[in-house]
Amino acid sequence: MRYTRSMPALPVTRRDCLLSLLALTAAPMVARPDPRPDAPAGSAMYRVEILAFRQPGQSPMAYPAPRLSIPTPIPGRVTPLNPTDLQLSAMESALSKRGYTLLAHSGWTAIVPPMGRTTAPLEDMLPPTAPIVGGIAVQRGQILFLNVEVDYHLPSPDNSAAGIAYAMRERRRIRFAERHYFDHPAFGLIATVTNLHGTETTG
């Protein structure tokens, strides 16, 4: 459809604004380390980084959600990144200037075998006081997916009750070198996945 002067301007949504920010902040290239020698044959290593933030405005109503079901991680499959190696700092700064409150910023490398799945428990990636809990998994098959199973705990105003929990459950096909935005009325999450080893591509 062609836009003319006689037509009303289309509203700009919160998602539109965030996607425009994603396009303006490019991530640098990273090195390609090999997976651990004891990893299953054909394994690939991925670099995952997440940035979670609270949406501005009044908190919405929370609805019941399935309980978190985070598997016990296999030792050596997930390694946290040093905070100085995180690449979404420019995005974090841009969101802060626009009134968003940061909830979590972390990254890790994940070794994923062929037709397998590796989950990073956020309790191992974030400080104990972080309001974000759950896990994020890289699922590898003919197509690469990122599985987000996260709860955001908002304390009650008077700290007299357990507070409110908002649930995000989403599975997204991953394209390398792109920033993926997971939207929720109460909070949002930006994730990047980089292939550090192997020749597979997504498209």
pLDDT along the chain (203 residues), means of 10: 38 56 50 68 94 90 84 91 94 92 96 96 95 96 96 75 84 90 95 79 50
DSSP 55-101: PSSS-------PPP-PPPPPTTSEEEPPGGG-S-HHHHHHHHHTTPE
At residue 136, the pLDDT reads 97
At residue 2, the pLDDT reads 36
Has residue 5 been placed in a domain?
no
Residue 175 is encoded by which pair of tokens? 């394209």
* Terminal-to-terminal C-alpha distance of the chain: 27
Has residue 31 been placed in a domain?
no
At residue 30, the pLDDT reads 47
Has residue 117 been placed in a domain?
yes
115/112 Cα distance (integer angstroms): 8
Residue 163 is encoded by which pair of tokens? 């507070």
Has residue 33 been placed in a domain?
no
At residue 150, the pLDDT reads 97
- Single-letter residue type at 114: P
Number of domains in the chain: 1
Domain range for residue 187? Answer: 14-25+39-195
